[in-house]
Chains A and B, each alone.
Chain A
Amino acid sequence: MGLIRWALTRSPWLLHFNTGSCNACDIEVLAALTPRYDLERFGVLLKGSPRHADILVVTGPVTRQVRDRLLRIYEQMAEPKFVVAVGACACSSGVFRNCYNVYPGLDAVIPVDAYIPGCPPKPEAIIFGIATLLKKLRGEL
């Protein structure tokens, strides 16, 4: 494993972005970051800037309004960067599927590395998704 990968899998910093979520997934993401679940034992930290983040955590269906902002944030992130779709809406636009104002899923706009289904997913599911992504980065999957 190269040095960059080694460092990355020990400090995957998150950027949480709401692309039109109802806030249920956002609350679960925040719950996963609390000391009770302690995502920080994996080195995960929530960052406020895309330039500091390695993993973009997206919640909610991608609306047409937010598309340009999402692309801009994605492009601002430094390589290597990874995207996690949290919740049914981000994975496949959920109950909003086939609406005129949303994209059929996050992967219709930017490449996605991990999907965490659920409406909303439990914090355990989010931790499992992030941990699985880290496993993939370490080359164990």
Chain B
Amino acid sequence: MSELTEEAIVERLREKFGDRIKAAEITGPRRVFVTVDPPDYKEVVRFIARDLGLVHVQTITGVDYPDEKRMEIMVHMGRRITVTVRTSIPREKPEIDTITDVVPGSSVHEREVHDLLGVVFKGNPNLTRILLPEDWPEGIYPLRKDVPLEEIRAKPLRGEREA
């Protein structure tokens, strides 16, 4: 694979998608951030994987912004250069297309974000529990900012010690 520079990645993305790339910035050496709208997200990921050859999905992260009523999904791709595709979805209805049909290995990352933030990745064939214990209460997502931490703490099985 020929070595793409950070600038070349941004240029090729702009060339292909035009205005649908809402923002693209190079924040430092080997770091590229691309902001897109949710409908374009999958297509951009596919372009980066298939056409730019950055097939490796390092991880998928989610951030909860309760004040702005949105959640941000970030897909980090690449090996030498990390290209991050970020997109914001509404907090009330956190749904986004899966990218498992583009990069099958991203399934575990999607399941993690689903587990911890409650984001539904539409089309993921196996969106089941991965990190949380099996007896975890339904509908509580520990990485959301408004989660009642006092209530979801593990209750000691024995001893009087307070958590």
Binding site for B on A (CB under 8 A): 63-65, 67, 97-105, 107-111
Q: Mark B64-86, 1 if CB is under 8 A from A, else 0.
A: 00000000000000000000000
Whether B157 lies near A105 (C-beta < 8 A) is no
Question: What is the interface residue range for chain B against chain A?
Answer: 10 to 19
Secondary structure of the A contact surface, majority rule = loop
Q: Which residue of B lies closest to A104 (CB)?
A: B163
Whether B133 lies near A109 (C-beta < 8 A) is no
Whether A108 lies near B153 (C-beta < 8 A) is no
Contacts of A64 in B (CB 8 A): 132-133, 135-136, 154
Give the shortest distance, in Å, between A20 (CB) and chain B (any CB).
Answer: 12
Whether B142 lies near A107 (C-beta < 8 A) is no
Give the shortest distance, in Å, between B133 (CB) and chain A (any CB).
Answer: 4
Q: Which residue of B lies closest to A97 (CB)?
A: B163
Contacts of B153 in A (CB 8 A): 98-100
Q: Which residue of A lies closest to B148 (CB)?
A: A100
Whether A100 lies near B152 (C-beta < 8 A) is yes
Complex Cα distance A105/B133, Å? 18
Given contacts A98-B163, A100-B154, 20 further A-B contacts (CB under 8 A): A63-B133, A64-B154, A65-B132, A97-B163, A100-B152, A100-B153, A101-B132, A101-B154, A102-B154, A103-B154, A103-B157, A104-B163, A105-B161, A107-B161, A108-B157, A108-B158, A108-B159, A108-B161, A109-B156, A109-B158
Whether A101 lies near B161 (C-beta < 8 A) is no
Secondary structure of the B contact surface, majority rule = loop
Contacts of B157 in A (CB 8 A): 67, 103, 108-109
Contacts of A97 in B (CB 8 A): 163
Among A65, A100, A101, A110, the most chain B Cβ lie within 10 Å of the Cβ of A100
Complex Cα distance A21/B73, Å? 29
Contacts of A108 in B (CB 8 A): 154, 156-159, 161
Complex Cα distance A47/B163, Å? 33
Q: Which residue of A lies closest to B151 (CB)?
A: A100
Enumerate the 6 nearest inter-chain pairs by beta-carbon distance, A residue then B residue, closest first. A108-B156, A64-B133, A104-B163, A100-B142, A103-B154, A65-B133
Complex Cα distance A110/B158, Å? 7
Whether A111 lies near B154 (C-beta < 8 A) is no
Q: Which residue of A lies closest to B156 (CB)?
A: A108
B149 close to A (CB within 8 Å): yes
Complex Cα distance A104/B163, Å? 5
Complex Cα distance A65/B133, Å? 5
Contacts of B152 in A (CB 8 A): 100
Give the shortest distance, in Å, between A34 (CB) and chain B (any CB).
Answer: 34
Contacts of A67 in B (CB 8 A): 133, 154, 157
Complex Cα distance A100/B153, Å? 5
Whether A104 lies near B158 (C-beta < 8 A) is no
